[in-house]
Amino acid sequence: MNNFDTTIDKYIEKNIERYIDEVVRLCSQPSVSSTGEGVVDCANLVGELLSEHGIENTIFKTDGNPIIVGRVQGAGDKTLLFYNHYDVQPPEPLDLWLSPPFEPRVTDDAIYARGAKDDKGEFVSRLAAYDAIMDTYEELPCNLVFLLEGEEESGSPNIAKFVREHEDLLKANGAIWEEGKLEYGDQPSLLLGVRGVLYIELLVNKMKIDAHSGYAHILPNAAWHLNRALALLKDNEDNILIPGFYDNVRQPTNEELNAFDAWPDLETDLRTQFGIDKFINGVSGNQLRYAVFNPTCNIAGFGSGYQGPGTKTIIPAKAKAKVDFRLVPDQDPEDILRKLRKFLDVNGFEDVEINVLGKMWPFTTPMDDPLVRLTAEAGFEVYGKQTLIGPLSGGSSPAYAVGGFMDIPVVNPGIGYWDNRSHAPNEHIRIKDFINGTKQIARIISRF
């Protein structure tokens, strides 16, 4: 650790109360994108905060919630972008919170509030890291761009278009993603890719009204029709049968697969959490992590006809399923949608309506990217541990809109740990994680 780093660390530790106050201030403002509660007020508050830190910013209108862009000029030519979001998940169920979700509670060790981790605390840690750099060096070694959206918890329907239309403003050489976390045992980690997603509803409408099941020999049954359409999509080994579905799947390299070998055991964890004795196709051990390179076709829900207690003898007129496809590099949700439509059509399911509820593209950053190395080195300095690096996560994010469109690496160091309860009651951050995460991000800025 050099002298500059010592100064950075001291600045962060000394000023921690200010940043706790800022997290509290942001989290006191509800900003639930799924209901719209407080969203515009929160966008304005983000603008204020950026200004208070001396960061020029603009609040952009979109077809959805406002997007805020802040910029600071540095000495070097390179630009580092911070992607964050100011919207939060709904706080329900309220009765499980130990203190009200939008009245932050600060203890000696932690801050409890909806958004404390996801993603308001993360955003404040970027501000704190910036302050620490300015205090230590008196100027930025690189340019910074702050990009904050307000619809991440609702599928980010507007971010891609915004990035496309503001590429000049956002132009960067690398990005720090919205959040990161320590694995169990305070082990720093980086997941360098996300899967894409195509989220659809399949809708079947066979009759005007339900009929008595005494006519089941002649009247069409919407539930059966949907069942048959779904049955077409996968075989019993979970292979997806849509022709061309796997065409654009890029096979993982041995290096990518082997990267997972350093990661902790997933099997015991999942077995306990979900009470299962068998994984799909009997996969076990490290294979459970490797399998993230398999794209999926998941029924998130279905419903038709009578679902109450006892019996009702009807032929359902309507049926509905929610299906999400998780897509791996280099699959394209729009291509998959076209192939699905065609597959249903040629198999006699022209009448099954597809309603698209969301789509995202997969995105990965190469494991050997210099930004990955830089992030891991900074992590080692802060945590005294090697960073676990994984090539792909099971989830999805709009990282493609930043990393993909601008062709830049994206990494996700952050201030989380394995039990922040994001999206759940009693969401919180540990103050020590805020401090360490901020130290790591300040180091990345200083050496970018």
- Chain positions 239 to 268 lying near its own copies, rule: CB under 8 A, are none
Instruction: Identify residues 357-376 at the interface with its own copies (CB under 8 A).
Output: 357-358
From CA 97, how far away is CA 93, in angstroms rounded?
8
| CB closer to its own copies out of 229 and 259 | 229
Select from 56-64, 76-84, 122-130, 311-319 the region that touches its own copies (CB under 8 A).
Answer: 311-319
- Does 63 bind its own copies (CB under 8 A)? Our answer is no
| CB closer to its own copies out of 146 and 361 | 361
Q: How far is the CB of 80 from its own copies (least distance, A)?
A: 27
- Does 32 bind its own copies (CB under 8 A)? Our answer is no
Q: For its own copies, how many residues bind (rule: CB under 8 A)?
A: 77
- Does 346 bind its own copies (CB under 8 A)? Our answer is no
The pair of three-digit structure tokens given for residue 151, joined into one six-digit string? 């619809």
Q: How far is the CB of 273 from its own copies (least distance, A)?
A: 8
Contact 288, 266 (CB under 8 A): yes
From CA 358, how far away is CA 334, in angstroms rounded?
11
- Does 304 bind its own copies (CB under 8 A)? Our answer is yes
- Does 310 bind its own copies (CB under 8 A)? Our answer is yes
- Does 227 bind its own copies (CB under 8 A)? Our answer is yes
- Does 270 bind its own copies (CB under 8 A)? Our answer is yes
Select from 113-121, 137-145, 233-241, 335-343 the region that touches its own copies (CB under 8 A).
Answer: 233-241
The H or E element spanning position 196 is: strand 196-205
Q: Which DSSP letter does residue 320 get? A: E
- Does 110 bind its own copies (CB under 8 A)? Our answer is no
From CA 429, how far away is CA 416, in angstroms rounded?
7
From CA 196, how far away is CA 399, in angstroms rounded?
10
Q: How far is the CB of 220 from its own copies (least distance, A)?
A: 6
3-state secondary structure of 270: helix
Q: Which of 298, 334, 342, 386 binds its own copies (CB under 8 A)?
A: 298
Q: Which of 79, 84, 187, 396 binds its own copies (CB under 8 A)?
A: 396
Select from 70-78, 133-141, 294-302, 373-381 the region that touches its own copies (CB under 8 A).
Answer: 294-302
Q: How far is the CB of 318 from its own copies (least distance, A)?
A: 11
Q: What are phi and psi of 68, to 5 degrees?
A: -115, 135
Q: Which of 59, 134, 257, 288 binds its own copies (CB under 8 A)?
A: 288
CA atoms within 13 A on the CB side of 240: 22
- Does 301 bind its own copies (CB under 8 A)? Our answer is yes
User: Which DSSP string do the residues of 218-259 spell out, in sequence order?
Assistant: TS--HHHHHHHHHHHHB-TT--B-STTTTTTPPPPPHHHHHH
| CB closer to its own copies out of 13 and 235 | 235
The pair of three-digit structure tokens given for residue 70, joined into one six-digit string? 């802040």
- Does 51 bind its own copies (CB under 8 A)? Our answer is no
Helix axes 3-14, 431-447, angle to 10 degrees: 140
Q: Which of 55, 106, 207, 257 binds its own copies (CB under 8 A)?
A: 207
3-class secondary structure per residue, 117-129: CCCHHHHHHHHHH
CA dihedral of residues 109, 135, 145, 365 (deg, nearest 10) = -60
Q: How far is the CB of 269 from its own copies (least distance, A)?
A: 11
Instruction: Identify residues 113-172 at the interface with its own copies (CB under 8 A).
Output: 154-155
The H or E element spanning position 187 is: strand 187-191
Q: Which of 65, 136, 187, 221 binds its own copies (CB under 8 A)?
A: 221
| CB closer to its own copies out of 364 and 396 | 396
The H or E element spanning position 79 is: strand 79-85
Which distant-in-sequence residues (6+ apart) come within 8 Å of 357 by Cβ?
A: 155, 199, 200, 201, 322
- Does 213 bind its own copies (CB under 8 A)? Our answer is yes
| CB closer to its own copies out of 235 and 334 | 235
- Does 418 bind its own copies (CB under 8 A)? Our answer is no
249: nearest Cα among 296, 287, 201: 296
Q: Which of 4, 137, 224, 418 binds its own copies (CB under 8 A)?
A: 224
Select from 94-102, 142-150, 195-203, 412-420 the region that touches its own copies (CB under 8 A).
Answer: 195-203
The rounded Cα 99 to chain-centroid distance in angstroms is 26
